Amino acid sequence: MRIKYIEKLYSNRMFKRGARRKRTLTGRQEAFLFNYLVMRQTATQAAYNAGYCPRYASQAAAQVLKSINVAAYIGAYYLEYWNSFTKGISVYSTMLNNRERAFVDYWLIYADAKKAAIKAGYKRRYAKQYGHELLQKPKMQKAILERIKSCDEKEMI
């Protein structure tokens, strides 16, 4: 009986080379995600409440969190949460500290990351590195775009 089951799996189109199979969550994984994301429990508590063995709940939680399909669900959940949280909020005014705001302003003036980092108050010795790292951050890129748009709107008035 086991051999027939395995043959059935391999004959299925989903398992042929190059084909992607749809990943679904088990009932325990769904319960774990509900407890972990919605109920805001720790991973160990969520694993215990989802029905994993109490003695090995922390190991089970670590294993579940490493699963690719669970990680995809967690990423989608936090992306949706982040988008709903930041909808209509300016990154420039809320998400940046004073030095990062100064860097954005000076970068718009000089268009040089090293010079902008020095003017913003970063150490001269590491200014080139800081400037490059800041420009790679998505929140800084979004803040620069917002700042450009706000400057354009002010000039239009």
Task: Quick: pLDDT tens for 66-124.
Answer: 988 888 888 888 878 767 766 666 777 777 889 999 999 999 999 899 999 999 999 99
Instruction: Identify whether 16 is part of a domain.
Output: no
Listed residues 86, 115, 138: the one ending a domain: 86
SS3 23: coil
Q: Is the pLDDT of residue 135 over 60?
A: yes
Q: What is the mean pLDDT of residues 4-13?
A: 46
CA distance between the termini of the chain: 77
Listed residues 55, 86, 117: the one ending a domain: 86
Cβ(86)–Cβ(129) below 8 Å = no
Length of the chain: 157
Q: At what angle do helices 43-50 and 57-66 cross, to 10 degrees?
A: 100
**Domain tally, the chain:** 2
Listed residues 69, 86, 103: the one ending a domain: 86
Domain boundaries, position 118: 91-156
Q: Is the pLDDT of residue 154 over 90?
A: no
Q: Are residues 96 and 79 in the same domain?
A: no
